[in-house]
């Protein structure tokens, strides 16, 4: 595996940001931008018509990019150095987890350093974004999360022969892929180099999974027990069947958690933000 870190430029950054500022987008995804860039006046932005709001955000973020470009360029170098130091153990751990030799897989991954606090990944294009405020260790920790997705769906697609378009938010296959990251990340070779692991350090999955209860038990515990007792193909089959059986409960919990998160940020009681999503 190989990851090339790049500064994709201001136009790409604006495009990435705007993906999560669309009319009707849940504040769970749109609100973090205003937290990290207080020069954006959320109240003023909300008062504008959609087109004017987008223009306002773009103008403001272009100024921010001009001020931060040198910092982003410096981080490209530091992230690359840290990846090279960790690459061998990441490759070995993921090869074991997925039962395939990952050495020759995904040697063309690209990581775009962006001003966007939400970090999308693009399976077909073999690329993902990382927020420029990450430390080098944080960028690699978040990068492992994304690389797990690439390999998960590579193996999944060979097993099920379905379509990559089915792997995106808000499909159940996307939800499952986000939940299983924690089990894979428990490998000492991965967890030891991920500053967001364990949960007390922020966690490597969305926080609304932590307290998701299904059949009277935390769903992450149920999935982890499956993962520990089965090979990866059997785990994919059984975990997806389990999620299908309980899909209504899973989705209801996510909706309620996103709404509660939004309410919490309004009152100032929540301090964490979603910064890694699959798109």
| Mean pLDDT score across all residues of the chain | 93
Give the integer Cα–Cα distance in Å for 59 and 66: 11
Least confident stretch, 31-35, 164-168, 238-242, 269-273: 269-273
pTM of the full structure? 0.91
Give the integer Cα–Cα distance in Å for 113 and 48: 29
Strand order in the sheet with 109-114: 3-6, 109-114, 127-131, 121-122
Q: What is the pLDDT of residues 45-71, one digit of tens each?
A: 999 999 999 999 999 999 999 999 999
Q: What is the pLDDT of residues 138-158, one digit of tens each?
A: 999 999 999 999 999 999 999
């Amino acid at each position: 595996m190989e990851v090339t870190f790049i500064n994709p430029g201001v136009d790409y950054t604006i495009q990435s940001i705007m993906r999560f500022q669309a009319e009707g987008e849940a504040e769970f995804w749109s609100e973090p931008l205003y937290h990290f860039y207080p020069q954006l006046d959320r109240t003023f932005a909300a008062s504008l018509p959609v087109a004017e709001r987008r223009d306002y955000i773009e103008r403001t973020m272009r100024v921010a990019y001009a001020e931060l470009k040198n910092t982003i360029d410096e981080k490209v170098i530091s992230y690359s150095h840290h990846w090279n130091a960790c690459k061998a153990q990441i490759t070995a751990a993921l090869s074991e987890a997925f039962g395939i030799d990952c050495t020759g897989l995904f040697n063309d991954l690209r990581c775009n350093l962006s001003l966007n606090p939400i970090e999308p990944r693009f399976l077909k294009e073999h690329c993902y974004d990382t927020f420029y405020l990450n430390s080098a260790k944080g960028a690699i920790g978040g990068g492992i999360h994304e690389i797990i997705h690439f390999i998960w769906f590579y193996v999944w697609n060979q097993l099920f022969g379905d379509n990559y378009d089915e792997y995106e938010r808000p499909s159940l296959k996307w939800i499952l892929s986000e939940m299983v990251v924690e089990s894979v990340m428990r490998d000492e070779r991965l967890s030891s180099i991920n500053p967001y692991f364990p949960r007390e350090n922020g966690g490597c999955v969305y926080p609304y999974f932590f307290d998701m209860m299904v059949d009277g038990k935390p769903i992450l515990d149920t999935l982890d027990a499956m993962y520990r007792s089965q090979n990866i193909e059997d785990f994919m089959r059984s975990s997806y069947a389990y999620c299908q059986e309980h899909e209504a409960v899973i989705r209801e919990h996510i909706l309620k958690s996103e709404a509660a998160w939004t309410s919490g940020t309004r009152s100032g009681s929540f301090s964490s933000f979603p910064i890694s999503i699959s798109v």
